[in-house]
Amino acid sequence: MTDPTVVLQASQPKLEDLLRQIVKLLEKHRLVETLVERDQTSPRHQLIESLVHRQHVVELQLKLRSLHPADIAYILEALPQDDRLLIWRQIEEERSGDVLLEVSDAVRNALVETLERAELLRVLEPLDADDLAALAEAVPEPVLADVSRRLPTRDRDWLQTTMAYPEDRVGRLMSQDVLTVRESQNVEQVLRLLRGREDLPLNTDSLFVVDARHQLKGVLPLRALLLNDPEQRVGELKLTDPVVFDASDAADDAARAFERYDLVSAPVVNGRGKLIGRLTVDAVVDFIREESEEDALNRAGLRGDEDLFAPIWDSARNRWLWLSINLCTAFIASRAIGLFEHAIAQIVALAALMPIVAGIGGNSGNQTTALVVRGLALGEITSENKGYLVLKELGVGLMNGLVWGATVGLFAYWLYRNWQLGVVMAVAMLLNLLLAALVGVAIPLILHRLGRDPAVGSSVLLTFITDGMGFFIFLGLATLFLL
């Protein structure tokens, strides 16, 4: 249950107001700091300033204390690094672990980097095994080992189990806190058991039924406890047909299943059917959001999760891999032009027209790729319908090629009053759009087959081909028919 003194923000505008208030407090704080520095000679003045200073810090701390960790995380993410650290230092120590859990990967890494080992240990101490598993990527190996050594044996074992799964597997997203019952218990007994607890784990909509060897027997929804006679035995109740995940299932599949069947929680078993954890909708929602944001950034060539307010040097390096790949492809495409320099020297108009052929090919191919990438993610593309898809996209390419080829052909004729140039332009456009349709389907399919994420590399490969081949086809046709 949420602490009732903590204010929850239902909407973004209210969150943004909150951010503005904090920024104002920070400004006051900094103003005072400057004054204190300026006037270090007068001890009395200094004392007053220092009191005012302390007052602002207290105001800031009170404000932060009234906020949910997720809202503090939001504020940290929206601040430049210096202000971020200033705020971080004002968070109560026993809550700073929760805040660390809520911030984005990029901000978490930046914060962990600045913390001293002892400080980091203090922050991590109040966290349980679930939380530590979530933070494991960001925390240096030896620190994590230190913290986990202080955990009870059971928790330490569990931490090792979950950490053994790769990041994109259910085993890594699951949580430890499962409530189990036996088939032989009756509703009254289960209710009494629950009343003995202080609280239920977050998102508990069902209890898991297990046998003596902890093998999963079924799922008992909480509402069955509310709706049924206290005398009834668990084994007799109509249990929901459970969706059970194996810890080695892909997290993305599990997210889809949560969506399809509107799940709130589901049991996770190991390869031998033993119940080892629980997957809950909050972890799934976070996973879906993170995946989609990461995809959007990756598509533009940013690795992982770049911090909006990262230092310039870090940001620049984060973008170099992508830019250097693009530079290589641009160089190669430029060599396709270099092959035809004699043609351009004779008909300079070719230089002005060639980017149009290449550009529209890229746009059209990217449309196809976007559709195929989504279809692959949804599992809608199978060996049975692949052929159909290629034919369909070639059909679309043909139709677009005729329409837009004619348009650009007429444009070229109108501009240069040379009908042969117009025809070459139209034919080059048609061929490049057909090529774009073909590689627009093929590239994501091939990347997928190779086990790579088609959302990431498809666009740069496609643009490389439509650019290079666009130049080559257009200038080649021009050389054949115009010179």
Binding to its own copies (CB under 8 A) within 180-199 occurs at 191, 194-195, 197-199
Q: Give the amino acid at 317.
A: R
Scanning the structure block, which residue is given the tokens 């672990």? 97
- Cα dihedral sign for 103, 105, 108, 114? negative
Integer Cα distance of 298 and 365 in angstroms = 18
Stretch that binds its own copies, among 52-60, 91-99, 156-164, 336-344 (CB under 8 A): 336-344
Q: Which of 122, 301, 406, 418 binds its own copies (CB under 8 A)?
A: 301
Instruction: Give every CB contact of residue 113 below 8 A, 6+ residues apart in sequence.
Output: none
- Residue 247 CB, shortest distance to its own copies, in Å, is 12
Integer Cα distance of 441 and 376 in angstroms = 11
Greatest CA separation for the chain = 95
Stretch that binds its own copies, among 45-53, 71-79, 120-128, 129-137 (CB under 8 A): 71-79
- Residue 480 CB, shortest distance to its own copies, in Å, is 19
59, 29 contact by CB (below 8 A):
no
Taking 3-state DSSP, the helix, strand and coil percentages for the chain, each rounded to the nearest 5, stand at: 70, 5, 25
- Residue 373 CB, shortest distance to its own copies, in Å, is 8
Instruction: Give every CB contact of residue 92 below 8 A, 6+ residues apart in sequence.
Output: 61, 64, 65
Q: Does 334 bind its own copies (CB under 8 A)?
A: yes
Q: CA angle, 384 as apex, 365 and 469 as ends, to 5°?
A: 25
Q: Does 70 bind its own copies (CB under 8 A)?
A: yes
Which of these, 443, 473, 439, lies nearest to 455 by C-alpha position? 443
Residue nearer to its own copies on the CB measure, 46 or 228: 228
Q: Which of 36, 200, 410, 438 binds its own copies (CB under 8 A)?
A: 200
Give phi and psi for 106, each to the nearest 5: -65, -45
Q: Does 392 bind its own copies (CB under 8 A)?
A: yes
Integer Cα distance of 285 and 195 in angstroms = 29
Q: Which of 306, 413, 446, 456 binds its own copies (CB under 8 A)?
A: 306
Considering just the CA atoms, what is the radius of gyration of the chain in Å? 30
Which of these, 324, 319, 327, lies nearest to 297 by C-alpha position? 319
Q: Which of 225, 421, 445, 478 binds its own copies (CB under 8 A)?
A: 225
Residue nearer to its own copies on the CB measure, 144 or 424: 424
Q: Does 483 bind its own copies (CB under 8 A)?
A: no
Integer Cα distance of 274 and 258 in angstroms = 21
Binding mask 397-416 for its own copies (x = CB under 8 A): --xx--xx--xx--x---x-
Residue nearer to its own copies on the CB measure, 119 or 286: 286
Residue nearer to its own copies on the CB measure, 371 or 438: 371
Integer Cα distance of 140 and 135 in angstroms = 10
Q: Which of 145, 341, 420, 483 binds its own copies (CB under 8 A)?
A: 341
Residue nearer to its own copies on the CB measure, 331 or 481: 331
Binding mask 241-280 for its own copies (x = CB under 8 A): xxxxxx--xx-xxx-xxxxxxx-x----------------
Q: Does 281 bind its own copies (CB under 8 A)?
A: yes
Q: Does 231 bind its own copies (CB under 8 A)?
A: no
Q: Which of 167, 168, 188, 282 binds its own copies (CB under 8 A)?
A: 282
Site size toward its own copies, by CB under 8 A: 153
Residue nearer to its own copies on the CB measure, 210 or 444: 444
Binding to its own copies (CB under 8 A) within 35-64 occurs at: none
Instruction: Give every CB contact of residue 194 below 8 A, 6+ residues apart in sequence.
Output: 179, 200, 225
Pull the structure tokens for residue 268. Answer: 């996770």
- Residue 249 CB, shortest distance to its own copies, in Å, is 5
Alpha carbon distances (Å) from 132 to 64, 119, 123, 156, 162 = 23, 16, 11, 10, 10
Q: Give the amino acid at 245.
A: F
Q: Which of 118, 212, 226, 450 binds its own copies (CB under 8 A)?
A: 226
Integer Cα distance of 237 and 217 in angstroms = 13
3-class secondary-structure state, position 262: coil
Give phi and psi for 165, each to the nearest 5: -85, 145
Q: Does 31 bind its own copies (CB under 8 A)?
A: no
Q: Which of 37, 39, 167, 286 binds its own copies (CB under 8 A)?
A: 286
Residue nearer to its own copies on the CB measure, 62 or 403: 403
DSSP 351: H
Binding mask 357-386 for its own copies (x = CB under 8 A): -xxx--xx-xx-xxxxxxx--xxxxx-xx-
Q: Which of 300, 449, 450, 451 binds its own copies (CB under 8 A)?
A: 300
Q: Does 289 bind its own copies (CB under 8 A)?
A: yes
Q: Does 333 bind its own copies (CB under 8 A)?
A: yes
- Residue 355 CB, shortest distance to its own copies, in Å, is 6
Binding to its own copies (CB under 8 A) within 106-165 occurs at: none
